[in-house]
Amino acid sequence: MTVSLTFKTFILEQLGRSIAGIRSRNMFGGVGIYGGEFFFALIDDDTLYFKVDESTRPEFEARGMGPFQPYGEEGETMGYYRVPEDLLEDAEMLGQWAEKAISVARRAKRGSKS
């Protein structure tokens, strides 16, 4: 789990073009990304992952993207999916996908307070 400063800076700048309040936090060798108070993305091994649920997962799967598996292919999966690489260069499209991920994080947070 490593993240280069160059990749981290690039992703935060791209996201910051569309999403207000972007901030990051180093965690467990990776980077957590927040939109305001919502943890919606992470970077691991210079790969960006967005939070998903049953409403957004099909978009990622249709693009051939898989889940974040911090313990290897045999380990458990987490509710984050790899962001298609072509979106990284398109700040507008990346922002649209990020907004969906923030909505997922918002719903998850709301649901955890029940």
Q: Considering the domain boundaries, does residue 105 fall inside one? A: no
**Domain, as residue range, for 21:** 5-91
Terminal CA-to-CA distance of the chain, rounded, Å?
A: 33
Quote the CA–CA distance of 16 and 110 in Å, as a whole number.
Answer: 24
Q: Considering the domain boundaries, does residue 110 fall inside one? A: no
pLDDT tens digits for range 18-64: 999 999 999 888 999 999 999 999 999 999 999 999 999 999 999 99
Q: Considering only CA atoms, which of 68, 60, 85, 61 is closest in space to residue 31?
A: 68
Q: Considering the domain boundaries, does residue 107 fall inside one? A: no
Question: With 80 as the cut, is the pLDDT of residue 70 above it?
Answer: no
pTM of this structure: 0.91
Q: Considering the domain boundaries, does residue 100 fall inside one? A: no
Q: Considering the domain boundaries, does residue 97 fall inside one? A: no
Question: With 90 as the cut, is the pLDDT of residue 109 above it?
Answer: no
Dihedral of the alpha carbons of 81, 111, 30, 41, in degrees to the nearest 10: 50
Q: Considering the domain boundaries, does residue 28 fall inside one? A: yes
Q: Which has more pLDDT, 1 or 77? A: 77
The CATH number of residue 79's host domain is 3.30.1460.30
Q: Considering the domain boundaries, does residue 31 fall inside one? A: yes
Q: How many domains does the chain have?
A: 1
Q: Considering the domain boundaries, does residue 109 fall inside one? A: no
